[in-house]
Amino acid sequence: MSLETIIDLHIKNGAPGDMNYTGKDFSSDQDVRWCPGCGDYTILKQVQTAMPEIGVKKEDIVFISGIGCAARFPYYMDTFGMHSIHGRAAAIATGLKISRPELSIWVISGDGDSLSIGGNHFLHLLRRNVNVNYLLFNNQVYGLTKGQYSPTAPSGSVSKSTPYGSIDHAVNPLSFALGADGSFVARAMDRDPKHLNQMILRANSHRGTSMLEIYQNCIVFNDGAFERFTDKKTRPVEAVYLEQGEPLIFGEKNEKGIRLDGLVPKVVSMKNGEFSKDDLWIHDEKDKTKAYMLSRFFDQPEPGDENRMPRPFGVLFAEERFCYDEEVNRQIAGVVERKGVGNLDELLRGRETWIVK
Amino acid sequence: MQVKDQVRDDVTIRFAGDSGDGMQLTGSLFTNTTALQGNDIRTLPEFPAEIRAPIGTVPGVSSFQLHFGSKEIMTPGDECDVLVVMNSAALKANLSLLRKGGIIIANTSGFDKKNLNLAKYGEDNNPLENGSLSDYIVIEVDVTRLTKESLSDSGLSYKDIERSKNMFVLGLLYWMYNRPLDSTISFLNQKFTKKPEIAQGNIKVLKDGYHYGETTEVFAETYTVKKAQIGAGEYRSITGNEATVLGLVAAARQGNIPLFFGSYPITPASDILHELSALKNFGVTTFQAEDEIAAVSSAIGAAFGGSLGVTSSSGPGIALKAEAVGLAVMLELPLVILNIQRAGPSTGMPTKTEQSDLLQAMYGRNGESPVVIIAPATPGDCFDAAFEASRIAIEHMIPVYFLSDGYLANGSEPWKFPQQKGLKKVNVRFEPARNGEDNPFLPYARDERLVRSWAIPGTPGIEHRVGGLEKEAETGNVSYDPDNHQLMTNLRKERVDKIADSIPLQQVDSGKDHGDAVLVGWGSTYGSIRTAVRELMVEGYSVSHVHIKYLNPFPKNLGEILNNFDQVIVPEMNSGQLVKLLRDTFFVPAKGINKVKGRPFFVDELKQEVKTILSEKV
Ligand SMILES: Cc1ncc(C[n+]2csc(CCOP(=O)(O)OP(=O)(O)O)c2C)c(N)n1
Ligand code: SF4
Ligand SMILES: [Mg+2]
């Protein structure tokens, strides 16, 4: 016997959805209201483009967001959606996923939403490994409230609330996610749509919390924050794309590589014959120690230093690990199997009764 | 000496000892036996605030009061007739609750020098010897020594022997009140199936306690309390938190939907989480969240997916949920918020009771965000109130506050439990799938009760977005239109008001439907007010009792009832909250009787206050 509720009956009776979608099928009738030129547009486009490829019926997809510019996202997707309250999308998604594990759930959140007000929920989502996709739109600023520095803004950032420069030490979202035992940790950027699209699909196919940080340009309050990665001229030197099983190569002519000298990553040149591809760090997204090292490739050392590390893009870490929502439901099924579906009358009676005549 | 047996209508016993002395268990076993004997009974456990307060000190005292009788028993009793104290700290903490002339049964080992010092009496100032207890009947029993003797050949460890001394006291009290031992014996056998030697040890001590009463000559009297005249039927004993759990599970069953419960531990609400966690084969999913915000948020997420979303907390935890409750008001989803109220602002007094969150439930959110409020009156009534809260949440797609408190949560009473076939049906209406584009789905379209439909993910053709931004009527699209905001604000209020059409009319609980004064209460004060009013009526006063379960919206006829009395008197365990709502809603010059001492009203103090108010008028 199983516990069949009205939800199961309701869903079963639904007509099967038409699955020949195009990206357009995922665009809602609402006008998109981000500032012209905002990085959010390309992310929206890439998510809509990716949706027909994930093989899920539209009615089984739910977008849940907190508050912020990024968090307006669900209104523009023609799926189920909830624009909730600041920082709490992770918790709402957890409740929905536990109770409806068959749904494909996407959390959309800004850097402030995820890492200041919602930091606690973000931590617990990651460690529980709830099977949802988490897109963190990082623009290093509070966009919606018009330009205060955010927890990912580098120290010294000048913003409306920090006219003399911020004093905070910035949080590194990927180190945070790895520290919380996130099972999938990746980075992409708005200005490389093709790679972004691949990353969205990778995030979708991973079982567990798939945390994809997306560098997103806020053209109004923090324009150019990621220019050195997004500008085609500087990108080859400042960014390194990670490919599973491939060496870490970058540079204008792919002439540079990263080599592990014991536990110390070093930038090496392959120009003068001293080093070749075979000497380089081979990316292994299952290696957590290396993933953590990669997440620390973060503005160190100073620009101009010959050992300056490029910023990694791609999947830093991916491991298979049990998901909270699946286990909760497995445990329930186990109890039902052992004890049978509970009898309400027996429960109401309790253990000991007496009769008054 | 001849032991005389006296008949008593009702008796109040208070067991008090160190946290480690097992007083809670002793009290509940006495309760079960007494209920099985057919008495009416109410209990009030009181725990120390600290988990492991220093042994032998006043803060470490734990007590359990029970009031039983052959007449209707509605409160755990004002003062007690018998006070059992396992040590001197227990006496110090509880003596003020014993009536003059009452019986103290004192474990003399708990009055040695060490204990006297720990209780801050001072080693040379033993209250059992210094004459300070001359107003009471003191019975000294060396429980600790007698228990050791009883088990000297048992082979049990010192610790196990020490732990069974509460059974000696229980046996002794069973003898005093002519109670049988069998229910306790079968409990002990069941509890210690894996350690039969401990079961045997406890049973031996229990019997020796009983025989001690029979053979020694320290007691002059035993007491008989006859069966009560309570309604025929099958009963069980139940606490408020247990009944709350059953009410939720039953409502979800009656609607055939899953129950999702998100919570974060806090006294005195945690037992609800514990109990529900064990009911996984009843369609219940429990989630111990990282904080109260996540707890309520997860419940909202589950409600969006078609579950009955429930969250529970108390005091500061409820404050944390406020923003998310506002979201649920906007989303119009079924959410039940269980507030097991406790005393004080901030952390306050976690183990003490109070009913001071009514106005918070009513108004404690940003913007105008009305919710439904329901309060149970007795431990057993928590079942009906939780069921109703869930039913209304589901059928009206609305957040409902359930206001219990520590006193109801832990207190117990005999409960004539219902059968499933007698329960109301809960109507769940999920929005059906759509195939054509001709008539687009409108998520905020309403039926005649102003209720929108529950449109759950997984249903083709009704994909839609909801959120905390103001909604355009019908479409649910984001709207800042001034007239629309006025309309939606009005609608959210009317939605609540309309629920008055489907809830029962207010009844007068005791007394006539008109008279000099009506005492209007809500929540856990029910028993004290009812008892006080009935006693005042016997004394010739023209008073009645009205107890409100549906606090928002009020029952439609409430104003009419209040207008039939010259005076409206509102006793509350707060500084005057319902009284404000009544004055504001019905323009009646209601007066409050207010107390915030962390414990329920005494019947006598209520009667005194009412008499004072009535005499002022003349
Ligand atoms: C409880 C609460 N506090 C503050 C706000 C105001 N607020 C709205 S969005 C936001 C910051 C958003 O920053 P981020 O998450 O980085 O999103 P972005 O706008 O940059 O996309 C703040 C502080 C709010 N809506 N709710
Ligand atoms: S303020 Fe910045 S983040 Fe927000 S919509 Fe405009 S450009 Fe985008
Ligand atoms: Mg931001």
Which of A233, A280, A291, A234 lies closest to A256, judged by CA? A280
Residue A137 is part of which domain span?
3-230+322-349
Q: Which among B293, B456, B464 has CB closest to A7?
A: B456
Rounded to the nearest angstrom, the distance between the alpha carbon of A148 and the centre of ligand 1 is 10
pLDDT for A352 equals 86
- Both B461 and B575 in one domain: the answer is no
CATH number for the domain that contains residue A156 = 3.40.50.970
Ligand 1 pocket (Cβ < 6 Å) reads A 67-70, 86, 110-113, 137, 139, 141-145, 150
DSSP for B437-482, please give it: SSS---TB---TTSPPPB--TT-TT---EEESSPBPTBT--B---H
Residue B600 contacts residue B75 (beta carbons within 8 Å): yes
Q: What is the ipTM of this complex?
A: 0.97
How sure is the predictor about B1, in pLDDT bands with cuts at 50, 70 and 90?
low
Reply yes or no on whether the pLDDT at A163 is more than 60.
yes
How close A192 gets to chain B, by Cα (Å)? Answer: 29
pLDDT for A1 equals 38
Chain B residues near residue A341 by CB distance under 8 angstroms: 281-282
Mean predicted lDDT score pLDDT of chain A? 95
Residue A57 falls inside a structural domain: yes
Reply yes or no on whether the pLDDT at A17 is more than 60.
no
List residues, by chain if needed, whose CB lies under 5 Å from ion ligand 3: A 110-111, 139
User: In Å, how far are A95, A99, A238, B321, B383 from B262, measured between CA atoms?
Assistant: 8, 11, 45, 12, 19
- Both B143 and B58 in one domain: the answer is yes
Which of B578, B362, B415, B358 lies closest to B42, judged by CA? B415
CATH number for the domain that contains residue B102 = 3.40.920.10
- Both B40 and B147 in one domain: the answer is yes
Residue B488 contacts residue A105 (beta carbons within 8 Å): no
Task: Using DSSP, state whether B346 is helix, strand or coil.
Answer: coil
The answer to whether the Cα torsion of A39, A42, A46, A48 is positive or negative is: positive
How sure is the predictor about B617, in pLDDT bands with cuts at 50, 70 and 90?
low
User: In Å, how far are A62, A92, A341, A350, B160 from B419, measured between CA atoms?
Assistant: 39, 35, 17, 12, 41
CB count, 10 Å around CB of A282?
A: 15
Tell me the backbone φ, ψ of residue A184, rounded to 5 degrees.
-145, 120
- Both B287 and B361 in one domain: the answer is yes
Residue B450 falls inside a structural domain: yes
Residue B486 falls inside a structural domain: yes
Domain boundary among the residues B475, B500, B525 is at B500
CATH number for the domain that contains residue B591 = 3.40.50.920
| A281-292 mean pLDDT | 98
- Both B474 and B552 in one domain: the answer is no
- Both B173 and B70 in one domain: the answer is yes
Site to probe by mutation for ligand 2, drawn from A214, A220, A222 as the one with most ligand atoms within 8 Å of Cβ, is: A220
How close B562 gets to chain A, by Cα (Å)? Answer: 36
Taking the C-alpha atoms of residue B335 and residue B389, their distance in angstroms, rounded to an integer, is 9
Q: Which helix (H) or strand (E) holds B235?
A: strand B233-239
How close A283 gets to chain B, by Cα (Å)? Answer: 35
Residue B231 falls inside a structural domain: no
Q: Which helix (H) or strand (E) holds A175?
A: helix A173-179
Mean predicted lDDT score pLDDT of chain B? 96
Chain A residues near residue B469 by CB distance under 8 angstroms: 83
- Both B314 and B455 in one domain: the answer is yes
| A229-253 mean pLDDT | 96
Chain A residues near residue B232 by CB distance under 8 angstroms: 356-357
Nearest chain A alpha carbon to B249 = A344
Rounded to the nearest angstrom, the distance between the alpha carbon of A113 and the centre of ligand 1 is 6
Which residue CA neighbors atom 1 of ligand 2 most closely? A143
Residue A126 falls inside a structural domain: yes
pLDDT for A44 equals 98
Q: Which helix (H) or strand (E) holds A250?
A: strand A249-250
Tell me the backbone φ, ψ of residue B515, rounded to 5 degrees.
155, -165
Reply yes or no on whether the pLDDT at B354 is more than 90.
yes
Domain boundary among the residues B465, B500, B535 is at B500
How sure is the predictor about A346, in pLDDT bands with cuts at 50, 70 and 90?
very high
Q: Note the pLDDT tens digit of each residue in B121-153.
A: 999 999 999 999 999 999 999 999 999 999 999
* Residue of A348, A349, A357 to mutate for B, most B C-beta atoms under 10 A: A348
Nearest chain A alpha carbon to B289 = A91
- Both B456 and B541 in one domain: the answer is no
| B527-549 mean pLDDT | 98
What order of strands is seen across the sheet that includes strand B515-522? B543-548, B515-522, B565-572, B591-594
Task: Using DSSP, state whether A138 is helix, strand or coil.
Answer: strand
CB count, 10 Å around CB of B390?
A: 29
Residue B410 contacts residue B45 (beta carbons within 8 Å): yes
Percent of chain B exceeding pLDDT 90 equals 93
How sure is the predictor about A355, in pLDDT bands with cuts at 50, 70 and 90?
confident
| B265-289 mean pLDDT | 97
Q: Note the pLDDT tens digit of each residue in B47-70.
A: 887 777 889 999 999 999 999 999
Rounded to the nearest angstrom, the distance between the alpha carbon of B133 and the centre of ligand 2 is 77
Residue A279 falls inside a structural domain: no
Residue B57 falls inside a structural domain: yes
pLDDT for A173 equals 98
CB count, 10 Å around CB of A146?
A: 11
User: In Å, how far are B202, B315, B320, B383, B547 from B378, measured between CA atoms?
Assistant: 33, 20, 27, 9, 11
Residue A246 falls inside a structural domain: no
Chain B residues near residue A1 by CB distance under 8 angstroms: none
Residue B527 falls inside a structural domain: yes
Chain A residues near residue B306 by CB distance under 8 angstroms: 6-7, 10, 99-100
Q: Note the pLDDT tens digit of each residue in A37-59.
A: 999 999 999 999 999 999 999 99
- Both B212 and B253 in one domain: the answer is no
pLDDT for B126 equals 97
Taking the C-alpha atoms of residue B39 and residue B35, their distance in angstroms, rounded to an integer, is 5
pLDDT for B618 equals 53
pLDDT for B3 equals 82
Identify which has the larger pLDDT, B420 or A1: B420
pLDDT for A12 equals 63
Residue B509 falls inside a structural domain: no
pLDDT for A13 equals 53
Residue A8, chain B, CB below 8 Å: the answer is no
Residue A107, chain B, CB below 8 Å: the answer is no
Residue A134 falls inside a structural domain: yes
Give the ligand with the smallest distance to the CA of A70.
Answer: 1
Residue A286 falls inside a structural domain: no
- Both B288 and B416 in one domain: the answer is yes
Specify the number of domains making up chain B. Answer: 3
| B274-295 mean pLDDT | 98
Amino acid identity of B131?
A: G
Domain boundary among the residues B437, B468, B500 is at B500
Residue A172 falls inside a structural domain: yes
Residue B573 is part of which domain span?
515-617
Strands (E), B380-455: 399-405, 412-415
Q: Note the pLDDT tens digit of each residue in B198-242.
A: 999 999 999 999 999 999 878 889 999 999 988 899 999 999 999
Rounded to the nearest angstrom, the distance between the alpha carbon of A87 and the centre of ligand 1 is 8
Query: How are beta strands A354-356 and B233-239 bridged, if at all?
Result: antiparallel
pLDDT for A8 equals 82
Specify the number of domains making up chain A. Answer: 1
User: In Å, how far are A264, B167, B234, B351 from B459, measured between CA atoms?
Assistant: 53, 60, 44, 46
Residues 6+ apart with CB under 8 A from B584: none
Which residue CA neighbors atom 5 of ligand 2 most closely? A34
* Nearest atom (ligand 2) to Cα of A37: 7
Nearest chain B alpha carbon to A72 = B467
Taking the C-alpha atoms of residue B97 and residue B89, their distance in angstroms, rounded to an integer, is 14
How close A124 gets to chain B, by Cα (Å)? Answer: 7
pLDDT for A333 equals 97
Residue B235 falls inside a structural domain: no
CATH number for the domain that contains residue B481 = 3.40.50.970
Q: Which among B257, B297, B417 has CB closest to A5?
A: B257
Does A85 sit within 8 Å of B324, measured CB to CB?
A: yes
pLDDT for A305 equals 83
Reply yes or no on whether the pLDDT at B270 is more than 50.
yes
pLDDT for B420 equals 98
Q: A262: exposed, middle or buried (C-beta count within 10 Å: 0-12, 13-18, 19+)?
A: exposed
Rounded to the nearest angstrom, the distance between the alpha carbon of A139 and the centre of ligand 2 is 9
pLDDT for A6 equals 81
Reply yes or no on whether the pLDDT at A16 is more than 80.
no
- Both B164 and B298 in one domain: the answer is no
Distance, CA of B170 to chain centre: 25
Residue B418 falls inside a structural domain: yes
* Nearest atom (ligand 1) to Cα of A218: 20
Q: A36: exposed, middle or buried (C-beta count within 10 Å: 0-12, 13-18, 19+)?
A: exposed
Residue A215 falls inside a structural domain: yes
Q: Which among B183, B233, B285 has CB closest to A98?
A: B285
Computed on alpha carbons and rounded to an integer, the radius of gyration of chain A in Å comes to 23
Q: Note the pLDDT tens digit of each residue in B359-400.
A: 999 999 999 999 999 999 999 999 999 999 999 999 999 999
